[in-house]
């Protein structure tokens, strides 16, 4: 049966939540749903991740605002990883999450045995690239497929047309790419003993490599693509912000942003840009126009050079000549509240001096420029700079600030090595 490709509901914007703070930022800046990792069996072992109490608080925060929370259990588990899985799943069910993101057939089977009412989404780690596989998983209890990143838009549309309406299709639209097939890589395990398929990738594909001749092991020869050397396995970052109409008309029901290990600033900025673009198209498809300010927002956060992934079948455009990030802006402070005396109470993120111009990023509205003055510490003592990690300070501002505003500042640098 051919599916109707015209969306009857606005696609979901799904954002990463590396910790509770990022979850709240994602929700506040417009995400319809977030995905997070718990204490076990997720592919971001070095993210902050959530304990049970934080998940409960995050779920409550999301549900109170009509949003959803998905939890990852998407490692490829070994026998030892399966110990205690049943009890862990029963505990997960009590947390109130809306779905589990899973990749391994053993975990899927155990979920269906222990928590049969839990909605299951198939992780991109399962590398689903054809409609027959999608049907197989759907017939075996999977509600949603998170497609492999290696599909073109034509292939995605074909897959959607050939699968039942009851199967939801999710796809990544923004974030880091992997040189391996949707993350299934053994380099990290082989080189440094950290298993990428169990959440501990050391990203050796980002390393700088040299050529060594077998009889002269102590004389590495640099492979040069440019002045920085060679980064033969590095990849750019996906960015589909300029192709919202194609995405909205594809049949994809969830647009996913990568980045559970990124900053609050990253989450806020990416979510804000895609939220505004998606809403603009949905409200008036016929007269939709891309707003260059959305790309300006995306350029502010730390990223590798952008490209459109495999969506348009551009062979070899994924590779990138450098492991450097483009980094034009840093977050300097979060606005926590306005004091009774008109001062603003803030949380310092990076060093900031009084009378320095900053930009204000908020969930709705344009980015604007302002200046903070008259810094004081928590005890009301004047200070010349906010420069202690996570310190609280207050300041005056001629412009009206709001709780949740993020203050950012140009770095003066264009790139940095990872």
pLDDT of residue 48: 61
d(CA 265, CA 330): 8
Read off the pLDDT of residues 93-145 as tens digits, 9 standing for 90 and up.
Answer: 999 999 999 999 999 999 999 999 999 999 998 999 999 999 999 999 999 99
Average pLDDT over residues 360-389: 94
Read off the pLDDT of residues 316-334 as tens digits, 9 standing for 90 and up.
Answer: 566 555 556 677 899 999 9
d(CA 320, CA 386): 37
Read off the pLDDT of residues 169-184 as tens digits, 9 standing for 90 and up.
Answer: 999 999 988 766 666 6
pLDDT of residue 1: 46
Q: In which element (H, E) is residue 21 found?
A: helix 20-28
Which residues sit opposite 406 in a β-bridge? Answer: 334, 361
d(CA 58, CA 46): 19
Q: What percentage of the chain has pLDDT greater than the value 90? A: 65
Q: Which of 4, 11, 3 is nearest to 244 (CA)?
A: 11
pLDDT at 2 over 90: no
pLDDT of residue 219: 79
pLDDT at 408 over 90: yes
Buried b / exposed e over 36-70, threshold 16 CB at 10 Å, is bbbebbbbbbebbbbeeebbeebbebbeeeebbbb
What is the reported pTM? 0.86
What 204-212 contacts at long range (C-beta under 8 Å, 24+ apart), as own/partner pairs, is 204/233, 205/178, 205/179, 205/180, 205/233, 205/234, 205/235, 206/231, 206/233, 206/234, 206/323, 206/418, 207/231, 207/323, 208/323, 209/233
d(CA 91, CA 112): 15
Q: Is 404 exposed, middle or buried (0-12, 13-18, 19+ CB in 10 A)?
A: middle
Mean pLDDT of the chain: 87
For residues 43 and 385, which has the higher predicted lDDT (pLDDT)?
Answer: 385
Domains belonging to the chain, first-starting first, are 12-180+235-317 (3.20.20.70), 329-417 (2.40.30.10)
Q: Which two tokens stand for residue 47?
A: 């993210």
Beta strands 357-361 and 368-377, pairing class:
antiparallel
Average pLDDT over residues 268-278: 97
Residues 6+ apart with CB under 8 A from 140: 108
In this prediction, residue 217 has a pLDDT band, given cuts at 50, 70 and 90, of confident
In this prediction, residue 39 has a pLDDT band, given cuts at 50, 70 and 90, of confident
Average pLDDT over residues 28-34: 98
pLDDT of residue 206: 66
CA distances from 396 to 322, 358, 381 (A): 42, 13, 14
d(CA 63, CA 183): 31
Beta strands 210-211 and 168-176, pairing class:
unpaired
In this prediction, residue 260 has a pLDDT band, given cuts at 50, 70 and 90, of confident
Residues 6+ apart with CB under 8 A from 106: 77, 82
Contact of 359 with 369, CB cutoff 8 Å: yes
Beta strands 324-326 and 357-361, pairing class:
unpaired
Contact of 68 with 33, CB cutoff 8 Å: yes
d(CA 181, CA 311): 15
Buried b / exposed e over 289-328, threshold 16 CB at 10 Å, is eeeeebeebbebbbbbebbbbbbeeeeeebebebbbbbeb
* Residue 309, phi-psi category: left (phi > 0), alpha (psi -120 to 50), beta (remainder): left
In this prediction, residue 416 has a pLDDT band, given cuts at 50, 70 and 90, of very low
In this prediction, residue 414 has a pLDDT band, given cuts at 50, 70 and 90, of very low
Read off the pLDDT of residues 77-95 as tens digits, 9 standing for 90 and up.
Answer: 889 889 999 999 999 999 9
């Amino acid at each position: 049966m051919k599916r109707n490709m015209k969306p009857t509901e606005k696609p979901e914007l799904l954002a990463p939540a590396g910790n509770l703070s990022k979850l709240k930022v994602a929700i506040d800046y417009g995400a319809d749903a977030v995905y997070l990792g718990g204490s076990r069996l997720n592919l971001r072992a070095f993210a902050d991740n959530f304990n049970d109490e934080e998940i409960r608080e995050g779920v409550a925060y999301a549900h109170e605002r009509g949003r959803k929370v998905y939890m990852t259990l998407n490692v490829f588990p070994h026998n030892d990883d399966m110990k205690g899985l049943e009890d862990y799943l029963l505990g997960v069910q009590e947390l109130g999450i809306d779905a589990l993101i899973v990749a391994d057939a053993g975990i899927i089977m155990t979920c269906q045995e222990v928590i049969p009412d839990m909605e299951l989404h198939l992780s991109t780690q399962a590398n689903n690239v054809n409609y027959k596989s999608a049907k197989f998983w759907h017939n075996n209890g999977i509600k949603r497929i998170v497609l492999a990143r290696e599909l073109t838009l034509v292939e995605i549309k074909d897959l959607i047309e050939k699968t039942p309406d009851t199967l939801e299709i999710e796809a990544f639209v923004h974030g880091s790419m992997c040189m391996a097939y949707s993350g299934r890589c053994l380099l990290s395990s082989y080189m440094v003993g950290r298993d990428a398929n169990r959440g501990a990738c050391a990203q050796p594909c980002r390393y700088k490599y040299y050529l060594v001749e077998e009889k002269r092991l102590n004389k590495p020869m640099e492979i040069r693509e440019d002045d920085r050397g060679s980064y033969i396995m590095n990849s750019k970052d996906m960015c589909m912000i300029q192709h919202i109409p194609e995405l909205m008309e594809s049949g994809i029901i969830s647009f996913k942003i990568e980045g559970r290990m990124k900053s609050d600033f990253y989450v806020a900025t990416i979510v804000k840009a895609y939220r505004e673009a998606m809403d603009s198209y949905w409200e008036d498809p016929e007269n939709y126009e891309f707003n260059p300010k959305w790309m300006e927002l995306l350029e502010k956060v730390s990223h590798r050079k952008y490209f459109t992934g495999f969506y348009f079948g551009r062979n070899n455009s994924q590779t990138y000549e450098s492991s450097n990030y483009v980094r034009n802006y840093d977050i300097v402070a979060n606005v926590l509240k306005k004091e009774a005396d008109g001062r603003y109470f803030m949380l310092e993120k990076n060093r900031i001096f009084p009378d320095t111009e900053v930009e204000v990023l908020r969930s709705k509205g344009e980015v604007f420029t302002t200046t903070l003055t008259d810094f004081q510490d928590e005890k009301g003592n004047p200070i010349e700079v906010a420069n202690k990690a996570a310190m609280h300070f207050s300041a005056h501002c001629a412009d009206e600030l709001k709780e949740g505003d993020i203050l950012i500042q140009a770095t003066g640098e264009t790139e940095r090595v990872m």
